[in-house]
Structures are given as C-alpha cells and as structure tokens.
C-alpha cells in the first residue's frame, strides 16, 4: 500500500528535483523525559519514511538539554521503541549533549559578535521586561555590557561560580519584536545538576532553541521536521543559523501533532497517570505509549499502517481511535494465528460420546493465509463453550445454541442441546447435548447447515488462564474538556477474567505474538504470563456486528 503524499514529502521531492539537496537528512529528536507514544510514532514514520523514500537517512538524536527531567531509563526505552517500530538509524545515534562543547563555542562567538549578553536579571524580572502580547518589552539594564565583561561572565558561569538562576546568556535580538521568541531569548541557563550522559562536566545547559537548530546543522540535517507549536520559533531558528559559522544550513518545517480520541497524548499527563498509579506503568496496556501498545498486542505494522493512513498536514486535528483500531485489525486479520479460547466457560457433555474417547481434529491456523498451515486440536466428551453462546430462551435473531437447537462446533461436529442442568440459584451449570457422528470436520452429508458455528475447547485438555480485557482509557472522546481529566478515566478500562479455558497450543504462544481467539478478538501473552499461570491481554475485539444488532434491539 503506497503511502499517500503530503506537503512535506512534496517539499523534499521539490528540493531534490531542483538540486538543492542530493538526498534528504532528517532526524527524530525526542527528549528523554518520558516514554514515546503513538504521536511520536507519527513523527518517526514521517522522518524515517521520507529519508528512506529518497535514499537519505534519519538520525536518532536525543534532545537532552535539561538534566533535571531526563533519565537513562527513558533513553533506553526510546531506542527500544523506535527499533521495535521497525526503523533503523544505522550508526546515526546522537545526543545534543555530544555537542555541548561546540555549542558553547558558538555562544562565545555570539558574544564576541555583540549578539549575545549575560543578563543578571532574575527569571521574574526577565518576564516583566519581556512585555506582553500587545506591549513591547524593555531592554535589560545589562544588555549593553561590554564584550569583555560578557566573555568573562560567561566563562565564570561555566566554571560554576554562580548559583542556579543567577544569570543567563541571552541573544541580543529585539525586545520590541511582535514575535515574543525574538525578545532576547535565553540561550544558556545555570543548572547545577548532573546529566545522564555528561555527568557533572557542565553546570550550564543550552536551551532547546540554542541546541536544536545547531545540532541539525552539525548533523547536516536538511529537513528538520517538528510540530506546529515550534512554528513561532522558526524565525529564531533561522536567526541563530544565520549568525553562527555553522557547517550547513538546515530548514525547519512544521506539521500538526497527532491527537486521538479517548486517550491523551501528552508526556506530562502520561507521566502523571503513571506516578499517581492510575495505570501500572508506562507500558500498561491501556497507555497510548509505544511500549503500552506493544504490550497490548498492537503489531508495529499496524501502527505504521495507521500513520500512513492518517496523513500529514498543518491542520490541528483529532483522529478517532477507531481508525487506529481499524489499521491494527487489518494487519492482525491477515497475520494472526487463529486459536480457540473460551472466556466464560460453560460445560457441555456429549451424552452419546464414549467416556474416554478422544479424537483429534485438524484445524486451519489462518483462513486468510493458507501458508499458516493447520494444527491438531483434541475433542472429547466434555467441552467448554462460551456461556454467551447459549440462551435457554433465545431471543429473535439469536442463532446460537438453545434447547433443541443444533449448532456446529467449529471444525468438529454438529451438536444438539437436549438438557439444561442448573445449579441452586438457577444458574445454568451444564448442557447435555448429542453429536451427529456423520458431521465430523463440520460438514453434514445431507447438506444441513446450522446457523451458528461455535468455538470450543476440550475440557480434558484445556489450559486455564487469566485474561485481561481492555477498553479505552478514558470514557469520553475528549477527556479533560470539562477540566476534570482524571474524572474522565474509564473505570472499566481493564477487566480481569479468571478461569478462562484455552486450547493447549496457546500455552506456547511466544511473547510478542498476537493471536486471534476465534469469534472473540485478538489476544497476546502479557509480560506477567508464566508457564502454569498464563496471562493474556485482549488487544482488540473483532468488529462485532452482533453487538450492534443487540444494541439496536435493546
């Protein structure tokens, strides 16, 4: 499925066609202050996708300029997530911190050129001097310090002579600019904190604005693609590039970040969900993080397909989660092995089946993929079927099992229910059925065609398991709209089922593989799963038109 074009692709293609560049160089620049989420996946697919399409390359560059928020755990997780998504940065793994010395040198360059100065104003005072959206700012009293004094102060900032916040280095641009980002933006701040990579080598750190474009220049990035909120920074990006002796001139392009219904894509909020215990971790299957989606069973190919499907534009937008789910189902439908699992088991005894007789049935692994082969499943006198697949008094349009009714057990036999055994509270405990020996494999010689085909598991062979059902993390499409984000959490986002009965082959499902439990949905072994204590996560249900029919009838 060829990816649809988009305005950034068009720009790159035009640049190549016009000979402005040979091949594009892009970069994915996460800050290691949290885990990557599906919104980052959109950016990753865009950056790596464009590079690959035009024969260029994409760097993985950590924007690690703020040591108080960044951690090694995040660095590691981000690498793993990008790789899992299917992208390869080759040897091009970089860190803004790799460039700290060069960046500092350029800061000195700016000072010498009279284009930067050390400001002694406090953060509050700087804010006051900055003006507002409608009023121009005022010059800092320290704005006209001599080059010599600025050089001296900057060196002493670096040497650690001053406390956090005591001074900053600022670009000298225009305090009256209508673009507030040009009102002498801060380039360096004093932060006595040790950095995950540079340790205590530095106590001053460059701001995003001073680090990003210059890092792009150092790496020869041609197209620096970021999200819309950086649009107002572009004049500053260009100003710095124009005023520094950089080896290359990169350009910044902005696109609209991803928003999804029924969830939230903000690292700040995701971190709170984790820290406040609303979920069990960054990789909780309900999280929209890459690691959460992976644990949930979403295949990387599904996420890539989703990214290709939604396109890239400059319009703020909110994608319906259904679209992500569609992409994932479409991948899983053609790749997932089919298995039998009974979530809510109801015992069926086949009264005309000999006590100890076991037959084996050959069952197709994936009707969408003949190459997936077949497997052997045991069939015996006692079986488990889904409780939902039986109704003592069937309502109209319910075609499954009911007293006196015949259904097909998938790939096995036709069975007819003769007796309903109930417990004390009137709960159905067991169904007593007969089977038709002539229907082995699921076809009858007389052409009878039951209206329903049920999945089943041999009770003598079934493997018990825990299954975790997942639903949207938030119970409204636009969580937090009323200002109470956490009140919008979906209390039913996770439902734990015990005593689920699985066909034995499921015990060997490798981690990371998502299978289909026929008629129910897609499931994957959870990281908590152990031999003898299996745990499966429900990735997604199948599209359920029966549920739709029911909803209408109700």
Of 209-228, which residues contact RNA (CB under 7 A)? Answer: 209, 212, 228
Q: What is the DSSP pairing of strand 338-339 with strand 406-409? A: unpaired
- The residue range among 98-106, 147-155, 204-212, 274-282 that interacts with RNA, by the rule CB under 7 A, is 204-212
Give the nearest distance from C-beta 357 to RNA in angstroms. Answer: 19
Query: For RNA, which is the closer residue by CB, 119 or 526?
Result: 119
Binder among 73, 320, 359, 508 for RNA (CB under 7 A): 320
In Å, how far from its chain's centre is CA 148?
50
Establish whether 31 is a catalytic residue.
yes
In Å, how far from its chain's centre is CA 342?
29
Binder among 12, 78, 168, 300 for RNA (CB under 7 A): 168
Give the nearest distance from C-beta 222 to RNA in angstroms. Answer: 20
Residue 286 in the binding site for RNA (CB under 7 A): no
Binder among 441, 499, 511, 553 for RNA (CB under 7 A): 441
Burial category of 514 from C-beta neighbours within 10 Å (exposed 0-12, middle 13-18, buried 19 and up): buried
The two tokens of residue 539 are 């990735």
Query: For RNA, which is the closer residue by CB, 57 or 195?
Result: 195
Question: What character string, x for contact with RNA (CB under 7 A) and - otherwise, covers 509-548?
Answer: -------x-xxx--------------------xxxxxxxx
Nearest to 9 by CA among 249, 228, 308, 259: 308
Asked whether the CA dihedral 160, 161, 167, 170 is positive or negative, the reply is negative
Binder among 147, 148, 201, 313 for RNA (CB under 7 A): 313
Biggest alpha carbon–alpha carbon distance for the chain: 101
Establish whether 257 is a catalytic residue.
yes
Instruction: Tell me the CA end-to-end span of the chain in Å, nearest whole number.
Output: 40
Host H or E run for residue 306: helix 300-310
Distance, in Å, from the CA atom of 13 to the CA atom of 19, rounded to the nearest integer, reads 10
Query: For RNA, which is the closer residue by CB, 442 or 504?
Result: 442
Residue 242 in the binding site for RNA (CB under 7 A): no
Residue 75 in the binding site for RNA (CB under 7 A): no
Instruction: Give residues 81-120 in contact with RNA (rule: CB under 7 A).
Output: none
Query: For RNA, which is the closer residue by CB, 420 or 527?
Result: 420
- The residue range among 76-84, 216-224, 231-239, 291-299 that interacts with RNA, by the rule CB under 7 A, is 231-239
- Please identify which of the residues 170, 189, 267, 294 carries the catalytic annotation: 267
Binder among 26, 150, 207, 222 for RNA (CB under 7 A): 207
Residue 205 in the binding site for RNA (CB under 7 A): yes
In degrees to the nearest 10, what's the CA dihedral of 168, 173, 176, 180? -60
Nearest to 404 by CA among 384, 388, 386, 420: 420
In Å, how far from its chain's centre is CA 155?
43
Give the nearest distance from C-beta 446 to RNA in angstroms. Answer: 14
- Residue 216 Cα distances to 60, 184, 211, 212, 221, angstroms: 11, 22, 9, 6, 5
Phi, psi of 509 (to 5 degrees): -60, 120
Residue 65 in the binding site for RNA (CB under 7 A): yes
- The alpha helices in 18-164, defined as continuous H runs, are 38-53, 72-85, 100-112, 123-130, 147-159
Establish whether 69 is a catalytic residue.
no
Helix, strand or coil, per DSSP, at residue 459: coil
Residue 13 in the binding site for RNA (CB under 7 A): no
Query: For RNA, which is the closer residue by CB, 230 or 282?
Result: 230
- Please identify which of the residues 69, 143, 257, 375 carries the catalytic annotation: 257
Binder among 123, 376, 421, 438 for RNA (CB under 7 A): 123
What residues are labeled active site?
Answer: 31, 257, 267
């Amino acid at each position: 499925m060829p990816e649809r074009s988009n305005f950034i692709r068009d720009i790159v293609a035009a640049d190549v066609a016009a000979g402005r560049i040979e091949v594009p160089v892009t970069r994915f620049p996460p800050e290691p202050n949290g885990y990557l989420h599906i919104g980052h996946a959109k950016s990753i697919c865009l950056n790596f996708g464009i590079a690959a399409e035009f024969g260029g390359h994409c760097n993985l560059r950590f924007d690690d300029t703020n040591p108080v928020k960044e951690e090694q755990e995040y660095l590691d997780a981000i690498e793993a997530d990008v790789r899992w998504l299917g992208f390869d940065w080759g040897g091009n793994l970089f860190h803004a911190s790799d460039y700290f010395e060069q960046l500092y040198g350029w800061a000195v360059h700016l000072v010498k050129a009279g284009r930067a100065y050390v400001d002694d104003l406090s953060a509050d005072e700087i804010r006051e001097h900055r003006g507002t959206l409608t009023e121009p700012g005022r010059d800092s009293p320290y704005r006209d310090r001599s080059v010599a004094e600025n050089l001296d102060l900057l060196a002493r900032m670096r040497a650690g002579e001053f406390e956090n916040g005591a001074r900053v280095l600022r670009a000298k641009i225009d305090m009256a600019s209508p673009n507030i980002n040009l009102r002498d933006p801060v380039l360096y701040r004093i932060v006595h904190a040790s950095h995950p990579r540079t340790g205590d080598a530095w106590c001053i750190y460059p701001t995003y604005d001073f680090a990003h474009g210059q890092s792009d220049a150092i790496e020869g990035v041609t197209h620096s693609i970021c999200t819309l909120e950086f649009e107002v920074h572009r004049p500053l990006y260009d100003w710095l590039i124009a005023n520094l002796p950089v080896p290359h001139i990169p350009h910044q392009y902005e696109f609209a970040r991803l928003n999804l219904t029924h969830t939230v894509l903000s690292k700040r909020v995701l971190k709170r969900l984790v820290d406040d215990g609303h979920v069990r971790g960054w990789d909780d299957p309900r999280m929209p993080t890459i690691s959460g989606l992976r644990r949930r069973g979403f295949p990387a190919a599904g996420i890539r397909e989703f990214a290709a499907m939604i396109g890239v534009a400059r319009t703020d937008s909110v994608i319906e989660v259904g679209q992500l789910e569609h992409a994932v189902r479409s991948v899983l439908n053609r790749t997932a092995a089919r298995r039998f699992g009974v979530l809510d088991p109801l015992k069926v005894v086949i009264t005309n089946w000999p006590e100890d007789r076991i037959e084996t049935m050959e069952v197709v692994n994936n009707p969408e993929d003949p190459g997936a082969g077949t497997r052997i499943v045991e069939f015996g006198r006692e079986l488990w079927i889904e409780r939902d697949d039986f109704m003592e008094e069937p309502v109209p349009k319910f075609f499954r099992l009911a007293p006196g009714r015949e259904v097909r057990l998938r790939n096995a036999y036709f069975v007819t229910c003769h007796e309903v055994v109930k417990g004390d509270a009137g709960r159905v405990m067991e169904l007593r059925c007969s089977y038709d020996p002539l229907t082995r494999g699921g076809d009858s010689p007389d052409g009878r065609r039951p209206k329903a085909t049920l999945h089943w598991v041999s009770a003598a062979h079934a493997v018990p398991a825990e299954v975790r059902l997942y639903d949207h993390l938030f119970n409204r499409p636009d969580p937090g709209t009323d200002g109470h984000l956490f009140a919008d959490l979906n209390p039913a986002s996770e439902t734990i089922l015990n005593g689920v009965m699985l066909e034995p082959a499921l015990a060997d499902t490798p981690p990371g593989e998502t299978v289909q439990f026929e008629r129910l949905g897609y499931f994957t072994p959870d990281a908590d799963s152990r031999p003898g204590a299996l745990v499966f996560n429900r990735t997604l249900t199948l599209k359920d038109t029966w549920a739709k029919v029911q909803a209408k009838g109700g």
